[in-house]
Structure 1
């Protein structure tokens, strides 16, 4: 019956495409694809390599709260079309508006949800490198983001409680203390519901499109944000027992919702062009981030901030159009096109912040058009040199910026709370400590970043490495800092002052520095060459490698 329906809706022109989809995912994928081809804006035009369709999770944990609800609205004179299955058959419903919400459905008996968490990370970059290392040890893994990034033992391989516990026992016998079993017993599960035209449809997967290709989505609780999304939407289950609303959007349209929010709209044209090129490159380089959940990118700072076309602006639209299809490459492979608000006067090499293979184009660059510091003669690994560097406030591209230099005091009670929260999250046996006794910078890189921070507590020592320092301790704005103890009466330690510069990871381009270079009249090409030395600008083409997996196999292009 299902096969017959698929055969009826297949037109002669779509037969090769339909057969391909059917072989991969069955009738549901076939019908969804036809639905999107017929209703998405611009569907009559064949997509080229410069207009790849992205899958962006715009609501990643829909249903995590019982009050979660989204209002969907068509544009004036338009209608929304919804496609889902009813008793194994496709059903289509139309309307000018609708609501998505969740119902907490009791289970016949509580469900056990378990996974072996091998490591926890602040960033995808470090998690992916960790995954490669576990794979090399013969343990199949997958990268997930329930909250922080984690590497899980592959659930299909370790599919029973016994197998999971045998794996954990084996790891503990080898002295590996980072792994643990995350166990949850679920008495209920959220079920997504679509309310349209007065009828409620409870479904796990819903395709949503409109004739004009623009859909308004408004949160009905919380901050009640309103977004306009081009392309189409899909509500689908995720790995964490909730749902993700995915925006299927062409690459160049996606950039209209990224560039204004990442760089602003008031910068000069070359600066906006730089951001457009980096945002495009970053998106294509990171299509694998959410493979575990069946989409590609998120819409927050764990990827790039994306708010649909709500804030699209003529200035950023011009920059996107002027750079259409251009990406930044190194040896014909897309670069890790990372950027941050402020570097603090020196960009961080990739391995100063994350784990993984070194990126030759991401190295320490003094963020200045002059020579306020000679790194070849004055290594910032030396503590005296580093303190002198931080004391300098002139001659840098970011000079005068709000976050270029900072001084933050943190009481010991706050440090205790932050560290305890972090250790509890990673299931550390030291999470029961009572008080921090001292902090020490154990290792600093030649570019000044803290590579290792030792925290001595009454229960033992905790070693914090690279960007995990910023997870465990909220006080510093970056890892470019030094410490000064704060003493009370009788020289009793009462906290620490963090003195440093920059905001964020500091790798790659400085947005604050780029503003300055743009005002000096630098072109977009020159700015990119400054922050990413040795790279080349290219149009997207079939010879470019998007990324390489843990075995060095190339993907994309």
Structure 2
């Protein structure tokens, strides 16, 4: 590939001016291992050079592409840089990343896996988007406050989760959903501000502030879902029957389940049955036992849930032999003449999964928090209900994130 020189010197080291503790910057991974990204800002971009000085770029829209390890802006000037750092020319102007608007600055890392796109954003702005992405913005203020404190605690405890990738947290359900300014509302921004710096602790340590959509009547012990036991993540009642995910069901044939199990590395010859092991007080199974012709297999309950696309591990299984007519399905064993038409007919094994809730079931149920707020509970009562024996207070060491390390 022919290499062209860039006129503009590219940033290698990033410098961030000192800011107040509650407004320190965290790094959110927006895209990871991609080959291109589009950036746009109305007033135009500034880029930081090797001496930490800002230089203006001539255009307000750039498409950063990667080819054979080299970077290009708008298809010109291939360079082997490790990092590009973009700021808006006007202070506090929003930057679009693939059409979605974000506050703060955008960093593009050039790695052997592809481009990593990172949003450098203030903790308060990050939390406003997370709260709006995770719960319904029109819900009672006490729910928004509870979610803000939980989200802040989760973020601060997990700041090193993606350190090897150059950022603190992802923007997906693997951490917390973050959708930029599109998720913000004035009510949410106010709820974040009114709970500024507040976190959840147990024995003066930040807790693992996990949460989920719907418990289905009772949350799960952490020990049922994951290895180890957390004294503050215990099974508690959860009145969340207003949730559209309170109960659900999903049906599979025996053949379909066999195919799903094999697709996930379980080489079973023929499925004979499924049973649940280690069912906790919330009704969730820690493990699922697969009975097959060539042996028995023990699967983690959460893994089984994801393999089959079930909403939670809180389910029971009903197995039935059924007879079905289907002139379009060729999986049947013998034919049957019905009004001079040939139809295939065979007994099929069907598994019906009937369950409750959506998510892992540990920690705060968001729909449960909603119903508690409707009943008059404040955010402190909501949090103390779902997290056993915790304290709610200010994070004295850092009430708003980490100092950006560049």
Q: TM-score scaled by structure 2?
A: 0.83
Equivalent residue pairs, number:
368
Alignment of 1:179-194 (within 5 A): 191-194=70-73
Runs of 4+ in 1 over 4 A off after TM superposition: 88-93, 489-493
Rate the CA distance shift 1:216–1:90 in 2: closer, same or farther, 3 A: closer
Any idea what the Cα deviations from partners look like across 1:258-277, whole Å, max 9, x if unmatched? 11111121011111111111
Structure 2 Cα separation of the partners of residues 217 and 462 of structure 1 = 48
**C-alpha distance 32-249 of structure 1, shift in aligned 2 (>3 A):** same
1:332 is aligned to: 204
Aligned-pair RMSD on alpha carbons? 2.7
- How do residues 319-358 of structure 1 correspond to structure 2 at under 5 angstroms? 319-356=191-228, 358=229
Aligned to 1:52: 24
3-state SS of the aligned residue for 1:467?
helix
1:525 counterpart = 2:380: yes
Cα distance change on mapping 1:465 and 1:229 into 2, 3 Å: same
Q: Aligned equivalents of 1:325 and 1:448: distance in 2?
A: 36
Matches of 1:457 and 1:443 in 2, distance apart?
Answer: 20
Q: Please state how far the C-alpha of 1:245 moved relative to its aligned partner.
A: 0.4
Query: In 2, Cα distance between the equivalents of 1:453 and 1:398?
Result: 26
Partner residue of 1:315? 187
Instruction: Select 2:352's aligned residue among 497, 521, 524.
Output: 497
1:204 match: 82
Structure 2 residue matching 1:292: 3-state secondary structure: helix
Match of 1:506 in 2: 361
**Residues 523-532 or 484-493, more deviating:** 484-493
Higher relative helix content? 1
Q: 1:481 aligns with which of 310, 315, 335?
A: 315
The one-character-per-residue Cα deviations of 1:434-492 (angstroms, maximum 9, x if unpaired) are 43221111331233211111112344322111321223322x21111111102134995
Structure 2: state its 5+ residue gaps: 1-9, 324-344, 402-406
In 1: Cα distance, 2:389 partner to 2:261 partner: 40
CA deviation digits over 1:7-65, x for unaligned, max 9? Answer: xxxxxxxxxxxxxxxxxxxx976x421xx43xxxxxxxx433322311110112322xx
Aligned mate of 1:79, from 41, 44, 67: 44
SS of 2:304 mapped into structure 1? helix
Match in the other structure for 2:231: 360
Identify the residue that residue 4 of structure 2 maps to in structure 1.
none
In 1, Cα distance between equivalents of 2:295 and 2:114:
38
| Deviations 1:218-276 (CA, angstroms, capped at 9, x unpaired) | 42xxxxxx2221121111135x6112101111111111211111112101111111111
Q: Structure 1 residue 311: deviation in Å?
A: 2.7
Q: Mark the runs of 5 or more structure 1 residues left unpaired by the alignment.
A: 1-26, 38-45, 64-68, 106-189, 220-225, 368-396, 424-429, 547-557
What is the alpha-carbon distance in structure 1 between the residues aligned to residue 237 and residue 279 of structure 2?
17
Note the alpha carbon deviations across 1:144-164, whole angstroms, 9 max, x for none.
Answer: xxxxxxxxxxxxxxxxxxxxx
After superposition, the Cα gap between the structure-2 partners of 1:289 and 1:521, relative to the gap in structure 1 and judged at 3 Å, is same
> More strand per residue: 1 or 2?
2
